[in-house]
Structure 1
Amino acid sequence: MAGTTGAVEVTVVGIGEDGWDGLGQPARAALAAADVVLGGARQLGLVAGRVRAVEAWPRDLAAAAAALPDSHAGKRVAVLASGDPMHYGVGGTLARVLGPGRVRVLPAPSSISLACARLGWPVEEVAVVSAVGRPYAAVGPQLRAGARVLVLTGDKDGADRVGALVAERGLDAEITVLERLGGPRERVSGPLREPAVPPHDRLAIVAVHCGPGPSDEARAMASRVPGLPDTTFATDGVLTKQEVRAVTLAALAPTPGELLWDVGAGSGGITTEWLRADHRCRAVAIEPRADRAAHVRANAERLAGAVEQTAGLVAGAGGLRVVEGRAPAALAGLPRPDAVFVGGGASSPGVVETCLAALRPGGRLVANAVTIETEAVLADWHRRVGGRLRRIAISHAEPVGSFTAFRPALPVTQWVHTAPADGAAAAV
């Protein structure tokens, strides 16, 4: 597409392993008319001799994409991408930085579609996880009885890594490795019962079909409804208990892409279940003790597939950050939250004030108390700014001699406050 000085318009062309021969006429025309074609070395090799000029993307693709209006002003630019450019591809990056009106996308069949075609799996019944430049931990939460999962790998031992996650959850599964789909060197290995397979191409798809009969823990972990059993977590005992956790998550009401502050995170039960609600959810867990912060990281990785991101949290991409410090000082400089849970420290001076001031319009603050002193603090906040105040009492049946009786747990007082949608700050 022709650009003008100071602007650039881009055509993104999806290309498969069959190269130029597999392209439709519109894609061929766009490449032939382009002043320059950008892409990875492998994609550029597929059109060698067919286009005017080529440039390989630098390592920082996002920065290069943002610089296109200056670096390629007035040029007709085409970009090559593997398969469907809008599925974990450069098409999405370009649309974000340039605007969708300046990006034309001509997709080819994605590797996901080709893999499902080879396996006979309906695409809508398949979970897809990318481990290309991302942690394999994200695969774990998708593994459940009967699940069909496609993992995009970025390592030659990707199948072994996926197999280890399957074994960790006590599942019986068939594993198939699919390489170079749609081209003359296509290879499909499997299905295999043994997770260990010969090394495969770095960029491959590992397909997992889980069988029935998981362990009780794996069955519980497969559910996305909040309230995982307490025994599922690594903890020293400082954990919001199952029933109260379920009620608390309902009050926090996570939605895709939202950010949670978990203040006084303990073992990270609330953080973990918030992240499990949707892969785009983000959380900052604030915990002063290093041993408990380690539990937060371990639980979030094993149960939510979330690995800590030290470079910050990208909106819409999901992720976890753990801050080892004490509120309110540790809250300084954090991105504004959509929801805040105060599980510890609500009675400390400045904690609730700081959290209320930071909430986005329409954001939710939920604070739990088990002591009379903290309960009094929450009752005072309820009097001052409103919200909902409730007491949660849970009893469990336990043996009493040869009989059974209900033994009550410590009651929990919960305050739920919603920030005004117009952005007006609470009168604190």
Structure 2
Amino acid sequence: MTPPDHPAVPAVTVVGIGADGWAGLAETSREALRGADVVIGGPRQLDLLPPECAGERVPWPSPLRPAVPGLLARHTGRRVAVLASGDPMFYGIGRTLTETVGADALHVLPHPSSVSYACARIGWPVEDTDVVTLVGRPADRLAAALHHGRRVLVLSAGADTPAEVAKLLTDRGFGPSRMTVLERLGAEEETSYDGVADAWTHAPGDPLNVVAVDCRRAPDAPRLGAAPGLPDAAYEHDGQLTKRHVRAATLAALAPAPGELLWDIGGGSGSIGIEWMRTHPSCRAYAVERDAERADRIARNAARLGVPGLAVTTGAAPDALAGLPRPDAVFIGGGLTAPGLLDACWDALPEGGRLVANTVTLESEALLADRYRRQGGELVKLSVAHAVPVGGFTGWRQAMPVTQWSVTKTRVGQA
């Protein structure tokens, strides 16, 4: 093996390994491990290596991520191999290493992932199967992936995960869903068992497991679609809620894209930030709410609707915006007349960033009309009426009209 300081050779070789251990490795992966001066990995992976892998064995410390740069630096000049479960680039150590040392310093030798094994065992096409990891993440994340008829693979955090999944499915109206737990995929002792979520009685099994969920919604459970505009009843609120039809129009104007970050100012019940994050798993949001009780309610709604990663900042804008990551889009649903708020939001946006502001008051409407005159964008009035009984007939009840200003920052200082 060429020394790692050779310009054409990566400094670290990352070897994916399965539950079948050494026997399941390709010869290329075995050669890399035999030739390594240092092998870094979890204790379980290190124990899978035979004596012919004579390099120093170094278990990962905890917490892992902050320790990576220093650990690799201590072994500079040595041939380093890192062991990872399955495919290192699929929710594995490969991402952390790439962000730490760069892709050019790595040589990755993947093994079939647990997702590939699971889909092969139960006959699900990988491309039609959603994947949610609960490793180091709250179980509430699964809620956003629950849609009738979809198939979801849950990467478990341990032996208790199947029971947690069954409880969440039942609580979210998906109790009839069938669950299959696949343990130690790829190993000789591989096994599986199944059942229905709302009748789950299995005791915890092997911590190395994947849970396959065939989603079935209970007949009386509310239907929550994938598009913005969830039913108002999906939210716990005190009246401070951007109503369904206006919310759908607001999200359309904000135009979320994968990986983008939203500031939801005047969060109320959190509906804009929540539905922004539900559009794609990589979308992020900060809800800024000055009322502490409402801030707590936002967090509960976010967890219930499958986006527990929504960050809630308690405080009044614009002061509460200090220190927040730069947004790709800003929604202002309250506090428009606060001195300096619009300017602070505009200054925070990068080129291409979007700002959307809604109001129902004449004072704030005048403010938005002035901004529209000076900065352009689009100024619209959204009116919604609902059919209601009028005696023995039906008539329209008009909701308060909402004035909305939306604008894209095309270059610094201009709209």
With structure 2 as the length reference, what TM-score do the two structures score? 0.95
Residues 213-228 of structure 1 correspond to what in structure 2 (within 5 A)?
A: 214-215=219-220, 217=222, 219=223, 221=224, 223-228=225-230
Any idea what SS the aligned residue of 1:46 has? coil
Structure 2 equivalent of residue 167 of structure 1:
170
CA distance in 1, matches of 2:322, 2:194: 52
Structure 1 equivalent of residue 273 of structure 2:
271
Is this contact kept in 2: 1:13–1:106, CA < 8 A? yes
Structure 1 equivalent of residue 77 of structure 2:
74
Structure 1 equivalent of residue 389 of structure 2:
399
Is this contact kept in 2: 1:131–1:151, CA < 8 A? yes
Residues 5-16 of structure 1 correspond to what in structure 2 (within 5 A)?
A: 9-16=11-18
Residues 49-64 of structure 1 correspond to what in structure 2 (within 5 A)?
A: 49-52=51-54, 53-64=56-67
Q: Deviations over 1:84-122 (max 9, x none)?
A: 111110112111211111111111111111111111111
Structure 2 equivalent of residue 311 of structure 1:
none
CA distance in 2, matches of 1:116, 1:141: 21
1:384 and 2:374 aligned: yes
Is this contact kept in 2: 1:175–1:208, CA < 8 A? yes
Is this contact kept in 2: 1:357–1:426, CA < 8 A? no
Is this contact kept in 2: 1:66–1:97, CA < 8 A? yes
Residue 180 to residue 102, structure 1, CA distance change in 2 (3 Å): same
CA distance in 2, matches of 1:231, 1:213: 17
CA displacement at 1:230 relative to structure 2: 0.6
Aligned alpha-carbon RMSD (Å): 1.8
Structure 2 equivalent of residue 233 of structure 1:
235
Q: Which amino acid aligns with 1:112?
A: V
1:153 and 2:171 aligned: no
1:371 and 2:361 aligned: yes
Is this contact kept in 2: 1:163–1:196, CA < 8 A? no
Structure 2 equivalent of residue 312 of structure 1:
none
CA displacement at 1:242 relative to structure 2: 0.5
Answer with 59-68 or 13-22: which moved more.
Answer: 59-68
CA displacement at 1:155 relative to structure 2: 2.9
Structure 2 equivalent of residue 359 of structure 1:
349
Q: Which runs of 5+ in 2 are unaligned?
A: none
Any idea what SS the aligned residue of 1:262 has? strand
Any idea what SS the aligned residue of 2:403 has? strand
CA distance in 1, matches of 2:6, 2:91: 30
Residue 2 to residue 214, structure 1, CA distance change in 2 (3 Å): farther
CA distance in 2, matches of 1:272, 1:382: 27
With structure 1 as the length reference, what TM-score do the two structures score? 0.92
Structure 1 equivalent of residue 204 of structure 2:
199
Is this contact kept in 2: 1:256–1:280, CA < 8 A? yes
Residue 73 to residue 351, structure 1, CA distance change in 2 (3 Å): same
Any idea what SS the aligned residue of 2:237 has? coil
Is this contact kept in 2: 1:259–1:338, CA < 8 A? yes
CA distance in 2, matches of 1:10, 1:189: 38
Is this contact kept in 2: 1:173–1:209, CA < 8 A? yes
Is this contact kept in 1: 2:173–2:217, CA < 8 A? no
Is this contact kept in 1: 2:313–2:320, CA < 8 A? yes
Q: Which amino acid aligns with 1:210?
A: C
Residue 133 to residue 69, structure 1, CA distance change in 2 (3 Å): closer
1:185 and 2:192 aligned: no
Q: Deviations over 1:16-43 (max 9, x none)?
A: 1111111111001111111111100000
CA distance in 1, matches of 2:110, 2:338: 55
CA displacement at 1:399 relative to structure 2: 0.9
Is this contact kept in 2: 1:16–1:83, CA < 8 A? yes
Structure 1 equivalent of residue 413 of structure 2:
425
How many equivalent residue pairs?
A: 410
Q: Which runs of 5+ in 1 are unaligned?
A: 308-318
CA displacement at 1:62 relative to structure 2: 2.0
1:65 and 2:53 aligned: no
CA displacement at 1:360 relative to structure 2: 1.6
Answer with 374-383 or 63-72: which moved more.
Answer: 63-72
Which of 131, 134, 152 is equivalent to 1:131? Answer: 134
Q: Deviations over 1:343-398 (max 9, x none)?
A: 00111111111100111211000000101011001011111222111111111111
Structure 2 equivalent of residue 325 of structure 1:
315
Is this contact kept in 1: 2:270–2:287, CA < 8 A? yes
Q: Which amino acid aligns with 2:194?
A: G
CA displacement at 1:277 relative to structure 2: 0.8
Q: Deviations over 1:37-88 (max 9, x none)?
A: 1100000000041212211111132233323552221111111111111111
Residue 192 to residue 268, structure 1, CA distance change in 2 (3 Å): closer
Any idea what SS the aligned residue of 1:112 has? helix
Percent of aligned pairs with the same amino acid: 51
CA displacement at 1:327 relative to structure 2: 0.9
Any idea what SS the aligned residue of 1:398 has? strand
Q: Deviations over 1:230-259 (max 9, x none)?
A: 111110111000000000000001111111
Structure 1 equivalent of residue 3 of structure 2:
2
Structure 2 equivalent of residue 310 of structure 1:
none
Which of 209, 232, 236 is equivalent to 2:214? Answer: 209
Residue 406 to residue 165, structure 1, CA distance change in 2 (3 Å): same
Structure 1 equivalent of residue 339 of structure 2:
349
Q: Which amino acid aligns with 2:413?
A: A
Q: Which amino acid aligns with 1:237?
A: G
Is this contact kept in 1: 2:274–2:310, CA < 8 A? no
Answer with 80-89 or 186-195: which moved more.
Answer: 186-195
Is this contact kept in 2: 1:254–1:277, CA < 8 A? yes
Residues 245-256 of structure 1 correspond to what in structure 2 (within 5 A)?
A: 245-256=247-258
Any idea what SS the aligned residue of 1:327 has? coil
